[in-house]
Amino acid sequence: MSSEPTRRLPRRFALLGLAALAGCGFVPVYGAGGGMSALHGATEIRAPANEAGFRLRDQLLRRLGPNDAALYTLVTTISIRRVSVAVAKGRGSTRINLLGSSDYALRAADGATITSGTVSGFTGYSTTGTTVATEAAAADAEERLAVLLADQIMARLMAALAAQ
């Protein structure tokens, strides 16, 4: 019996919150009229011609969609550094961290830079299994790093376009 009023209270707050957002001009960033809708399907993505660049480009394509008409160009670089963080006597490194960074620049069709910056992150993997397992773990860590860097680039693009 006492749980009934507490169950209704959060719903009321949620409805009031939605009404407040509607009144303040809230627009979803990916919705119609949102800043990211202009980039979706209209951005050519340039990345280095190596495996790390391919992975970053693939992750950005998943977020921005295929390029139907290039109104914008997103130029990226990526660098990955491997660092041993755990060493076992007689076995060498047992844990590797991948430190990654990516410079990016979003340019309009006329070449003017809209926004640019650098993002960075890290991930790691274990080398204690077989050679095949270690290689698979390294590839998976590189993919996770590409996802992390692409997410950060997208967040920065959202913030820059929302401020305009």
Three-state secondary structure along 2-53? Answer: CHHHHHHHHHHHHHHHHHHHHHCCCCCCCCCCCHHHHCCCCEEEECCCCHHH
Is 99 part of any domain? yes
For position 76, what pLDDT does the model report? 97
Q: How many structural domains are present in the chain?
A: 1
**Residues 141-160: b if buried by 16+ CB within 10 A, e if exposed:** bbebbbbbbbebbbebbbee
For position 12, what pLDDT does the model report? 64
Is 89 part of any domain? yes
Is 14 part of any domain? no
List the chain pLDDT tens, one digit each, 164 residues.
555 555 555 666 666 665 555 555 555 555 555 556 778 888 999 999 999 999 999 999 999 988 877 899 999 999 999 998 877 777 777 899 999 999 999 999 999 999 999 999 999 999 988 889 999 999 999 999 999 999 999 999 988 887 77
Contact 73, 114 (CB under 8 A): no
Helix, strand, or coil here: 67?
coil
Is 144 part of any domain? yes
Q: Write the Ramachandran bin of 65: left for phi over 0, alpha for psi from -120 to 50, otherwise beta.
A: left
Q: Which domain holds residue 105?
A: 35-163
Q: Looking at residue 77, which CATH number applies to its domain?
A: 3.30.160.150
Helix/strand/coil percent split, the chain, to 5: 45, 30, 25
For position 117, what pLDDT does the model report? 97
User: pTM (2 decimals)?
Assistant: 0.77
Contact 109, 118 (CB under 8 A): no
For position 29, what pLDDT does the model report? 56
Is 25 part of any domain? no
For position 96, what pLDDT does the model report? 93
For position 26, what pLDDT does the model report? 53
